[in-house]
Amino acid sequence: MPGGGSAAAVCGAMGAALAGMSAHMTVGRKKYAEVEDTMQDIIRETAALQQDMLGFAQEDAEMYSLVLQAYKLPKSTDEEAALRKAAIENASKTAVNASLKVTAACVNILKLALTVVVQGNRMLVTDGAASALLSRACQQVASYNVRINLGGVADAAFKTEAEQALQQQLAEGKRLEETVLKEVEQRL
């Protein structure tokens, strides 16, 4: 059952693909010979990130179902309620961790988008901007999924660690997006 997290991860895959395409269109051009190795690395990295994001889209659908199943468990007796509570806790933690993988991957895509904008083919800077914008949108949607699933988690240490990781990734994502867009504006 796909939801917003799955759609976001597909959006992130598109962001990775655009950074990779920009690198592809830089490779082999004399004008960009000095960044050939960097662009080849970006091609490999973005291909892997694209596949990761598509996997995350499937994982999000599975996590959504897992969380829904936990909330549907019976709670008529104390024993059933305890089992349901534990299932919600476990499913919520699993879903949080899945979404945090997405928010972290977005930071990596944004870094690659910045590199292709600054060092890559100048005719493709707008594709670098699209990569950054799509990746940041993906990150923001995934962050909402982290936050809503933290509502099903009672483990205070887990919540604190997840919230800190999320805030760090969001801050880095915002900084990178702003930097990419500033660089693009300078090159238009």
* Residue 50: per-residue pLDDT: 98
Q: How far apart are the first and last CA of the chain?
A: 41
The pTM (predicted TM-score) of the whole model is: 0.94
* Residue 23: per-residue pLDDT: 98
Task: Spell out the domain ranges in the chain.
Answer: 4-187
Q: Which CATH architecture best describes the domain 4-187?
A: Up-down Bundle (1.20)
**Tokens encoding 160:** 């604190």
Question: Left, alpha or beta for 73 (phi > 0: left; psi -120 to 50: alpha)?
Answer: beta
Q: pLDDT tens digits for 29-64?
A: 999 999 999 999 999 999 999 999 999 999 998 888
* Residue 1: per-residue pLDDT: 59
Each of the 188 residues of the chain gets a pLDDT tens digit; together they read: 568 999 999 999 999 999 999 999 999 999 999 999 999 999 999 999 999 999 999 999 888 888 899 999 999 999 999 999 999 999 999 999 999 999 999 999 999 999 999 999 999 999 999 999 999 999 999 999 999 999 999 999 999 999 999 999 999 999 999 999 999 999 99
